[in-house]
Amino acid sequence: MKHLKMKRPAAISIAVFLAAVTLAASLAGCSAKDASSVSDKEETQVTDTKPIVEITMQDGGKIDIELDPSAAPDTVENFLKLVNEGFYDSLTFHRIIPGFMIQGGDPEGTGMGGADTTIKGEFSSNGVDNPISHKRGVISMARSQSPDSASSQFFITNADSVFLDGEYAAFGHVTSGMDVVDSISAVETSANDAPTSPVVIESIKQIK
C-alpha cells in the first residue's frame, strides 16, 4: 500500500502544492486505521482532554504539539497509537517546502511509505466537520487523492495554508518549538523537496 507520496506525481508534491496555491487545487500525499460507569462530569473531562506529544529531533530540538480529539478523534487516536508504539522514532522529515510545511512519518523516507492501515479523512469535503484551520503551526495528515488514505505521514505548516481547509485532516497545533519547525524549514533541499542531509526525528513521545 502506498503512502503519502511526497513526489511531484502524487500527494503533497511541489507540483500539486504549487497548483493548489496558484490554481486553488488540492495537494496530496499518502497514508493508518488501522464496566465502571462514568459520571457526566467525568465523561466531559475525558472528552475535553487534549493530549500533548513532544517531537525530539536528533540534534536536540523539541516541538510540543497539542492534539485535538474533538476535531478529529480517529486521526488523534491513530496518531497516538503509532506514537506509543514508537513507530515514528528514528524516522525523518523527508519533504520540506519553505513557506509551506515540513512533512514526515514515512518509514521508507521516500514519501511512499506508511503504517499498515488507513483511516477516514476527517475533513469537510469527506463529510466530517473539522473546525481546525491550517494556520501556521498546525499539524495535519498527508494523504493521496483518496480521501480515506491517510496513514502515518503528517505535516506541520510553517505558514498559513488555509487553502488546505476542508481537504486535509488537521488535528492539533504546535504549542512550543516553532523555532525548530522554522529551522527545519530552512534546511537545504533538492529539486524534489527532499533534504540534502537527513532531518532525523529521534522520537515522538506522549507527554500528557
Considering the chain, what percentage of its residues have pLDDT values greater than 90? 76
Domain assignment of residue 37, yes or no? no
Q: Which of 5-19, 47-61, 75-89, 134-148 has the lowest mean pLDDT?
A: 5-19
The answer as to whether 81 is a domain residue is yes
Per-residue pLDDT, averaged over 176-184, amounts to: 98
Is 179 among the domain residues? yes
The whole-number pLDDT of residue 109 equals 95
Residue 3 within a domain:
no
The whole-number average pLDDT for the span 118-133 is 98
- What is the pLDDT at residue 48? 66
pLDDT at position 199 over 50 = yes
CATH code of the domain covering residue 135 = 2.40.100.10
DSSP class of 153: -
Q: Does residue 40 sit within a domain?
A: no
Local structure of 199: helix, strand or coil: coil
Mean pLDDT estimate for the chain:
84
- Report if residue 184 sits inside a domain: yes
Q: Could you list the residue range(s) of the whole structural domain that residue 190 is in?
A: 14-29+50-206
Q: What is the pLDDT of residues 15-74, one digit of tens each?
A: 333 334 333 333 444 433 333 333 333 333 334 689 999 999 999 999 999 999 999 999
Mean pLDDT score, 143-150: 97
Per cent of the chain over pLDDT 70 is 77
Which residue, chain included where needed, has cell 504539539? Answer: 65
What is the DSSP secondary structure assignment for residue 89, as one 8-state letter?
T
Cα 106 from Cα 113, distance rounded (Å): 5
Going by pLDDT thresholds of 50, 70 and 90, the confidence category of residue 163 is very high
**Counting beta carbons within 10 angstroms of the beta carbon of residue 183, is it exposed (0 to 12), middle (13 to 18) or buried (19 or more)?**
middle
Q: Is residue 20 part of a domain?
A: yes
Which DSSP category does 19 fall into? H
| pLDDT at position 192 | 93
Instruction: Kindly state the average pLDDT of the residues 88-97.
Output: 98
The domain total for the chain is 1
| Nearest one of 169, 105, 160 to 135, comparing CA atoms | 160
User: What pLDDT shows up at residue 49?
Assistant: 87
> In the prediction, which pLDDT does 33 show?
34
